[in-house]
Structure 1
Amino acid sequence: MPQPPRAIWLRDQGPPRKPRLSRERIVTAAVELLDAEGAEGFSMRRLAARLNAGTMSLYAYVKTKEDVLDLALDAVMAEIELDTPDDRSDTAEDAAEDSSWRTFLVRQLSQSREVMRRHPWIPALTSTRPLLGPNALARSERFYTAVNRAGLDGPQLVAAVGTLSYYVNGFVASENVWRSWMNDPEGELELRREAQAHIDQQVGRYPTLSSQAQLEFSDFDAAFTHGLKIILDGIETQLNVTRPPRTISEGP
């Protein structure tokens, strides 16, 4: 079975080429094309047309289509701020050590959701390639540091970070699909009412769904916040059975 090509971040890029287009222009155009057509509509031919260039000319700057997707994905990762106005420290370690570690994580994950809503193709790409670009790694470092300083390490740390990432990716992927299909608020409300009425008519068969499902509830922001709180509550319970939070002087 042929092996997949190594990610661009793991290959020698060779000497810089004399600019004609530029990798930056290619990446900017790639993000625009992905925003317009999604990952399924992306091709090097369409990208070249957007740049008014020949398809083969792109390969002077990148080896494969996958390289372009990796670079575009890392470019939009920069939209998640590394530092925010209410950070009270000058370093990543100090900010992560702040007692409001949950606030930090909620802020980061909420920004991630906003970026994924602006660029709906992100969840599909993050599940198919390693996030090894400099922007992605810088944000992962901050995130891992926050959870580690709160008191988790090893498999628990990896599981906690993974759970939070999977939650946000899955939530936004579903949200984006729903919003692209149902963009009429009144129509959505009517559909939800009809669905709730359908279940209520069969309360004997679906008693819990009838009383608890709340199908008329359509506030994605509140649903995201509630779900994230449940996960963070679960993570916080683990802090009480592992070890006390570290101080900066104790190191990683």
Structure 2
Amino acid sequence: MAGLRGPQSFWFRDQGKGRRPRLSRERIVAGAVELLDGEGVDGFSMRRLAARLRVGTMSLYSYVETREDVLDLALDAVMAEIAVDEDDSTPWRDALTGHLVQSRRVMRRHVWITALIGTRPMIGPTSLARSERFYAALARAGLSRPELNAAVSTLFAYVHGFVAAENVWRSRVTDADEEAELRREVKRHVAAHADRYPALARQAEVEDADSDGGFRRGLDIILDGIEARIDPGPG
């Protein structure tokens, strides 16, 4: 996986003691999240972070060793916005749906997450706690390796891919009227070439801008498939 080469991950290193009082790791992480929200990953640098915190750049290195350390900490921090369902009596589909709906909201709120997921190891304590509950819900449903791992990967890929595309679209098409007209143009174009694209002309709902409903329908299809693989046991 990209991002695992080079210096050892922040989460595997001894964090040490004795930090200077002017800064704290919490303040650095909060500033990093704000900077990432405003500038994205490409606009993030230790120099810009230091300027936001009104300290010298080298002051940051008393608390972290690398820029990647800060990215790991920021990524783990925003995962805390996904509430953990500790109730083992919650039906597995409800637990997963709640988790993934929240995940989408968090990735829409912090659009830089989709640029980091897949390049940074999700092994911070907050991320692992949420992964633990996610795996536990599928295990409770009756899945086990390797199907459980395949189900996790499929659900993760769906949410990540859906939101990544959604974020790119929303960054470029910001006016609702402009979007509606664009969708109408696409519909007219496809209809005009129905002999070439008959399935699209009959089935594609290009005017449907309900991304929330589309997300839930797609998620239900995947969960239906997972449910169909679960062995109901005797009777």
State the TM-score, normalizing by the size of structure 1: 0.88
Name the residue aligned to 1:202: 193
* Alpha-carbon separation, structure 2, partners of 1:187 and 1:6: 47
Q: RMSD between aligned alpha carbons?
A: 1.5
Structure 1 residues 216 and 75, CA gap change in structure 2 (3 angstroms): same
Name the residue aligned to 1:68: 70
Helix, strand or coil at the partner of 1:81: coil
Cα shift at 1:82: 1.1
Residue 232 (1) aligns with residue 223 (2)? yes
Name the residue aligned to 1:179: 170
Name the residue aligned to 1:37: 39
Name the residue aligned to 1:249: none
* Alpha-carbon separation, structure 1, partners of 2:45 and 2:191: 47
* Alpha-carbon separation, structure 1, partners of 2:194 and 2:94: 40
Name the residue aligned to 1:115: 106
CA contact (8 A) 1:97 1:149 kept: no
Structure 1 residues 3 and 174, CA gap change in structure 2 (3 angstroms): closer
Residue 212 (1) aligns with residue 203 (2)? yes
Cα shift at 1:13: 1.6
* Alpha-carbon separation, structure 1, partners of 2:209 and 2:5: 44
Name which of 68, 86, 96 aligns with 2:88.
96
* Alpha-carbon separation, structure 1, partners of 2:53 and 2:8: 26
Cα shift at 1:165: 0.9
Name the residue aligned to 2:83: 81
Equivalent AA in structure 1 for residue 212 of structure 2? D
Name the residue aligned to 2:19: 17
Q: How many residues are paired up?
A: 231
CA contact (8 A) 1:203 1:210 kept: yes
Name the residue aligned to 2:155: 164
* Alpha-carbon separation, structure 2, partners of 1:6 and 1:191: 47
Name which of 2, 7, 10 aligns with 1:8.
10
Residue 50 (1) aligns with residue 78 (2)? no
Identity of aligned residues (%): 61
Cα shift at 1:12: 1.5
Gaps of 5+ in 2: none
Cα shift at 1:19: 2.3
Instruction: Could you list the structure 1 runs, at least 4 aligned residues long, displaced by more than 4 angstroms after superposition.
Output: none
* Alpha-carbon separation, structure 1, partners of 2:117 and 2:136: 21
State the TM-score, normalizing by the size of structure 2: 0.95
Cα shift at 1:207: 0.3
Equivalent AA in structure 2 for residue 218 of structure 1? A
* Alpha-carbon separation, structure 2, partners of 1:193 and 1:74: 41
Cα shift at 1:96: 3.5
Segment of structure 1 superposing worse, 102-111 or 14-23: 14-23
Equivalent AA in structure 1 for residue 35 of structure 2? L
Equivalent AA in structure 2 for residue 38 of structure 1? G
Equivalent AA in structure 1 for residue 30 of structure 2? T
Name the residue aligned to 1:191: 182
* Alpha-carbon separation, structure 2, partners of 1:19 and 1:236: 53
Cα shift at 1:166: 1.0
Residue 128 (1) aligns with residue 119 (2)? yes
* Alpha-carbon separation, structure 1, partners of 2:194 and 2:112: 39
Equivalent AA in structure 2 for residue 76 of structure 1? V
Equivalent AA in structure 1 for residue 88 of structure 2? A
Deviations 1:216-240 (A, max 9, x none): 1111000000000000000001103
Equivalent AA in structure 1 for residue 42 of structure 2? E
